[in-house]
Amino acid sequence: MKKFCLIGLLVIMLSPCYAQQVIFSSLSDLLAAKGDTVTTLAVEKRSIKDLYMSNGADYRIVSQENSGLSKFIKNRAYAVQMGPDLYVNCKFVRYNHYRFGNWYAKAHKVQGRIFFAAQPYGQRASSSLKSEGTTKLGGAVGDAIAASGLVNARVCYFISPETGRAELVTSDFLCSLLAGTPELLASYQAEVSESAEVVEKYLLQLQHEK
């Protein structure tokens, strides 16, 4: 009898791993941590081939047991929490006049803002990477750069709580966030970069600051 009780206790202890799957319907719900819990979701990383053939964010989230829920997540959900990982639906986010396309981007909630990594759209975002040998296309297509050599490049954006639109995380903006942590600020100033790899490193450290 004790054996079955122990097994039941272990099941209860492990079940929160599934309960941490939460769907948020809007930015306000996400900021307020008000969402609906589900248990059947899976995250799929889109391949480079997918990105070239159909532009958009890096991840798709599906319910393998419920096609209706998959459709809702693709077209109507604003964000999804998968355990410790947060993803925002780029379908609902704009940067200037650019669309990020469909699918989900990895995100972080830091100091009351939502940050996410996506392709560098627009001349300001692409030039911030200072990448050498990058193919530059002319006109509006060149600004979008979705099909250029930067298809693998990522920069960070944050979503304005007031407008719901995305803003580029520049080095100046990140320095302002790090101002209260002198050691992190000095470390970032020694390697100033606006690539998502570098910016996310500091965002994660800020996230864990008390």
| Structure confidence by residue, pLDDT tens digits, 45-94 | 998 888 878 778 999 999 988 999 999 999 999 999 999 999 999 999 99
Q: Check residue 52 and give its pLDDT.
A: 79
DSSP structure string for the chain = -HHHHHHHHHHHHHTHHHHTEEEESSHHHHHTT--EEES-EEEEEPPHHHHHHS-S-SEEEEETT-HHHHHHHHHT--EEEETTEEEEEGGG-EETTEE--SSEEEEEEETTEEEEEE---HHHHHHTT--TT-----HHHHHH-TTSTTTT--EEEEE-TTT--EEE--HHHHHHHHTT-HHHHHHHHTS---BHHHHHHHHHHHHT--
